[in-house]
């Protein structure tokens, strides 16, 4: 792996009023691996994700992907560059069926076209294939609002996969999900990673982080304070101090 491969963030900064949500953060993620981003509440993880994926414009710093500068790009361009993401509070269209949600996901901003009778069979086949992959194909015609929260998270993940991203950012994939579905999501992440997709996962469930990730980056007060393999991170005094609020 060269320094140019994958996602690299240099000196990223984003303030809200007097709060430096992300403060001069520089991180290089392990391309091809499962990376975790952890840290206490309010340490800037979601803001960092939002800056990387074009949901929020950073005040300073750069975001590069395979050496290409994506800083300040709108979200759809970041997605076209091969970076997909899910949200902390799962985002699906509640009144669309599971399969319709995926058809919309493949054509952002084009709900009518995605739902028209002329929609391409290939998209439908792909959507059904992905629902099968995440294990909810039997719910294809059920409206998203009638799915459990964990099933909605699986649907959201299938939606991310519709765009075939090379790198996937997941914001709290295990949050609010029952243990059986956490296991399924973990297994899916491993499978997708084995197929060559890079993951960057924000997660508070330490069992999930420690069992799933190859590389852990720890945020505190808007910037990384430690990074390394899970076993090292677990024993790092700086990390323990951050979590204990020292």
Question: Contact residues for ligand ATP (CB under 6 A)?
Answer: 16, 19, 21, 39, 41-47
Please name which of 161, 107, 106, 111 lies closest in space to residue 131, comparing C-alpha atoms: 161
Which is closer to ligand ATP, CB of 45 or CB of 223? Answer: 45
- Rg over CA atoms, the chain: 18
Dump the DSSP string for 20-65: EEEEEEEEE--TTSEEEEE-STTSSHHHHHHHHTTSS--SEEEEEE
∠ CA 20-21-23, rounded to 5° = 60
Which is closer to ligand ATP, CB of 12 or CB of 103? Answer: 12
Helix (H, G, I), strand (E, B) or coil at 2: coil
* Beta strands across the sheet bearing 198-202: 83-85, 167-171, 198-202, 34-38, 215-220, 223-228
């Amino acid at each position: 792996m060269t320094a140019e491969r994958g996602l690299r963030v240099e000196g990223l900064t984003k303030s809200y009023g007097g709060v430096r949500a992300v403060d001069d953060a520089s991180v290089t993620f392990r391309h091809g691996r499962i990376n975790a981003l952890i840290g206490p509440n309010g340490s800037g993880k979601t803001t960092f994700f939002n800056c990387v994926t074009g949901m929020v414009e950073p005040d300073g710093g750069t975001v590069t992907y395979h050496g290409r500068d994506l800083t300040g790009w709108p979200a759809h361009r970041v997605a076209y560059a091969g970076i997909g993401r899910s949200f902390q509070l799962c985002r699906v269209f509640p009144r669309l069926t599971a399969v319709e949600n995926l058809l919309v996901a493949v054509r952002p901003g084009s709900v009518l076209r995605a739902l028209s009778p002329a929609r391409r069979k290939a998209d439908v086949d792909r959507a059904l294939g992905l629902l099968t992959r995440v294990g909810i194909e039997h719910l294809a015609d059920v409206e998203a609002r009638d799915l459990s929260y964990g099933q909605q998270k699986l649907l959201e993940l299938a939606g991310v996969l519709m765009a075939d991203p090379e790198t996937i950012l997941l914001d709290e994939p295990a949050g609010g999900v029952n243990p059986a579905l956490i296991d399924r999501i973990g297994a899916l992440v491993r499978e997708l990673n084995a197929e060559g997709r890079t993951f960057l996962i924000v997660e508070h469930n330490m069992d999930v982080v420690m069992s799933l990730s190859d590389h852990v980056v720890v945020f505190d007060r808007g910037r990384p304070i430690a990074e390394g393999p899970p076993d090292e991170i677990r024993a790092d005094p700086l990390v323990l101090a951050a979590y204990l609020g020292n």
